[in-house]
Chain A
Amino acid sequence: MWHNDFPALAALAARGITYLDSAATAQKPAALLLALQTYLSQGAANVHRAGYRLADEVTSAFEACRDDVAAFIGAAQRDEIVFTRSATEAFNLLAYGLEAQINAGDELLLSPLEHHANLLPWQQLAARRGAKLVWLPISASGHIDMAAASALFTPRTKLLAVTQLSNVLGTLQPVRELCTLAAQHGALSVVDGAQGVVHSSVDVRALDCDFYVFSAHKLYGPDGLGVLYGRHHLLNQLPPWQFGGEMVLQVSRDSASFQAAPLRFEAGTPPISAVLALRASLAYLRTLDRSAVAAHEALLLQQLKTGLDQRAGVRRLGDSDAALVSFVVDGVHHADLAQLLDEQGIAVRSGQHCAHPLMATLGVAGSTRVSLGLYSQAADLERFFTALDNALALLQ
């Protein structure tokens, strides 16, 4: 359907590669390539400073992306959008920015589903401040147990950090309910939208979260660019964490004053071409009927789950709601399966998926993850299943 909008897919097909690892990074639409080609061939300029027309044009286009991102996720204001180098950097910005607000004995509430990017910054912050990590229990299907969760919010809870859509299980989490609970207990809420923003329409105000983080490269955009949304007054309470050009108002030999958010968090030259490329990807996504995309992905997900369930010894981890499924096979090591799938041109993720605590919780050493993009097709899954059968014929 939208397959032809992504030039790399034809190149991959010509090499015999079936790409089923979109949760790691997505292929890019032709619109992104054109935007990069245009910017880089028509004249680069730095943003926010020079007083000449070319730089003004580039700055306008750069800042227009901030408007587009704000609209895309339903932010109330454009200056609630901070561009970072990655989603990981955005989490680190928050963990350092919030450090002064976290004291010994405070509790940070996390789920065992978290990607290391939304775990390690908090784990290390807790270690620096003598705070405690508290874990939200998950059900067998891979969903945060809300009944148990509500009992874990206490007056000591300072922060909730949860994923919207698990990168390992594909399970959608009750983020809105959790953020509401956090607000009722005076705790800040941080939502990892790295997978969620790709497969659902996000409205940060409806989610009622304080912070929302995602990366451009999973959203059919460029790598090297992350997005941090934060409520306006909360962002402006955070001190800057990196210092340099662009983020200052005035500098003397011994002191400096800084811009308001978002620029105070964008020290140095930002990833200009990546921001312009993301703008093109968002414009492309706006041309699509997102409910048709969701229906297409739901159909493929069903095909994937049904196919896995039909095969003896194959066990899905959790019960996925969207776009990706992890599975293990009785008596078969995930590394062996990965090797045989790779030999047959199937690109899927194998291992622990940057979520070691979750794999420990599930009691598995590793798994194989198949993940879909809006450009994935039924034929991709048919090739995957043929390859899986060939591999299991050898390994089982």
Chain B
Amino acid sequence: MSLPAAAQQVLNLLQQSPGFEGRNRALLQLGNQLPSFASEQRNDEDLVPGCDSQVWLRCERHAETLQFSASSDARLIRGLLACLLLRANGLTAAELALLDWPDWLTQLGLKQQLSPSRANGLNAVVQRMLLLSQAI
């Protein structure tokens, strides 16, 4: 399946931004594009367990497709979340279930950069996305 346009933009940006500084500047920039909601709208039931820093995640269905939004106080984490959400938004639940997340992170050049604990945190977000996509 072809990449959603927003996901293609994420891929282009990160591939054009190598190195410590470039990659992290790109992630900070992506953090501003995260589909998000205000901190006042955070609910405990939206909190993703298993993250080092607090992340709130929601899912809505527009026709057949999923629209995730997330909230976090940490700017780089928001960038990482954007990498996940912009890849997933617009997919159907069936498409999301088939998505190869390790491959996506490898394409973005993030696989090697993430510490195991941060990778676990992202994995917790992915698991929550799958759970939410099946629940609604």
Residues of A near B53 (CB, < 8 A) are 333-335, 366
Query: Does the CB pair A333–B75 fall under 8 Å?
Result: yes
Which residue of A has the minimal Cβ distance to B21? Answer: A394
B39-75 with Cβ < 8 A to chain A: 52-53, 73-75
B132 close to chain A: CB less than 8 A: no
Q: Check A336 against B76 for contact (C-beta < 8 Å).
A: yes
A344 in contact with B73 given A335-B52, A339-B118 (CB within 8 Å)? no
B92 CB within 8 Å of chain A: no
Distance to closest chain A CB from B104 (angstroms): 19
Cβ B74 vs Cβ A335 within 8 A: yes
Contact count A vs B, C-beta below 8 Å: 43
Secondary structure dominating the interface of A: helix
* Beta-carbon contact of A336 and B52 below 8 Å: no
The 0/1 profile, CB within 8 Å of A marked 1, for residues 94-136 of chain B is 0000000000000000000101001000000000000000000
Residues of A within 8 A of B115 (CB): 339, 342
**Contact of B73 with A394 in the complex, beta carbons under 8 Å:** no
> How many residues of B are counted as interface, with CB atoms below 8 angstroms from the partner's CB atoms?
15
* A9: Cβ under 8 A from any B Cβ: no
Determine whether A248 belongs to the interface, using a CB cutoff of 8 Å to chain B. no
Query: Judging by beta carbons under 8 Å apart, are B113 and A333 in contact?
Result: no
Which residues does chain A contribute within 8 Å of B73, judged by CB atoms? 333, 365
Scan residues 139-180 of chain A and give those whose CB is less than 8 A from a CB of chain B. Answer: none
What A residues does B113 contact at CB under 8 A?
Answer: 343
Interface string of A360-396 (1 = CB under 8 A from B): 0000011000000000000000000000001001110
**Chain B residues positioned under 8 Å from A342 (CB to CB):** 115, 118
Task: Give the distance in Å from the alpha carbon of A390 to the alpha carbon of B118 in the complex.
Answer: 20
How many residues of chain A have a CB within 8 Å of chain B?
Answer: 18
Smallest CB-CB separation from A351: which chain B residue? Answer: B52
Q: Is the CB of B74 within 8 A of A336?
A: yes
Closest residue to A342 on the B side, CB-wise? Answer: B115
Bound Cα distance from A335 to B79, whole angstroms = 13
Say yes or no: B20 contacts A336, CB within 8 Å: no
The distance from the CB of A391 to the nearest CB of chain B, in whole angstroms, is: 8
Contact A394 B25 (CB under 8 A): yes
- A394 near B74 (CB under 8 angstroms)? no
A340 to B74, CA, bound (A): 12
B21, B24, B25, B77 — most chain A CB neighbours (10 Å): B24
Is A82 on the interface with B (CB-CB < 8 A)?
A: no
Complex Cα distance, B24 from A338, in Å, reads 13
Q: How far apart are the CA atoms of A395 and B77 in the complex, in Å?
A: 12
Inter-subunit contact B76/A340 (CB<8 Å): yes
Which of B20, B25, B74, B75 is packed against the most chain A CB atoms within 10 Å? B74
Q: Mark B11-48, 1 if CB is under 8 A from A, else 0.
A: 00000000011001100100000000000000000000
Q: Kindly report which residue of chain B lies nearest to residue A344, judged by CB atoms.
A: B20
A350 on interface, CB distance cutoff 8 Å: yes
Please indicate the chain B residues that have their CB under 8 angstroms from the CB of A334 in the complex. Answer: 53
Chain B residue, CB-CB nearest to A333: B74
The interface residues of chain A lying within 8 Å CB-to-CB of B25 are 394
Does B75 contact A338, Cβ atoms closer than 8 Å? no
Contact assessment for A395 and B75 in the assembled complex, using a CB-CB cutoff below 8 Å: yes
Could you tell me the distance between the alpha carbons of A333 and B52 in the complex, rounded to whole angstroms? 12
Complex contact A394–B28 (CB within 8 A): yes
| Contacts A339-B118, A343-B113, A350-B52; A390 near B74 (Cβ below 8 A) | no
- A333, A334, A342, A390 interface centre (most CB from chain B within 10 Å): A333
Shortest distance between the CB of B78 and any CB in chain A (Å): 9
CB <8 Å contact, A338 and B52: yes
CA distance A336 to B121 in the complex (A): 13
Q: B25 → chain A, closest Cβ, in Å? A: 6
Q: CB within 8 Å of B: which of A321-335?
A: 333-335
Centre residue among B21, B52, B113, B115 by max chain A CB count within 10 A: B52
- Sample 29 A-B pairs with CB under 8 A, ordered by A number: A333-B73, A333-B74, A333-B76, A335-B52, A335-B53, A335-B76, A335-B77, A336-B74, A336-B76, A336-B77, A338-B52, A339-B76, A340-B24, A340-B76, A342-B115, A342-B118, A343-B20, A344-B20, A351-B52, A365-B73, A366-B53, A390-B20, A390-B21, A393-B21, A394-B21, A394-B24, A394-B28, A395-B75, A395-B76
Q: Give me the 7 closest cross-chain CB pairs, A-B, nearest first.
A: A335-B53, A333-B74, A336-B76, A335-B74, A336-B74, A342-B115, A394-B24
Q: Which residues of A contact B (CB under 8 A)?
A: 333-336, 338-340, 342-344, 350-351, 365-366, 390, 393-395
If A333-B75, A394-B28 are given as contacts, then 5 extra A-B residue pairs at C-beta distance below 8 Å, sorted by A number, are A333-B77, A339-B76, A340-B24, A351-B52, A395-B28
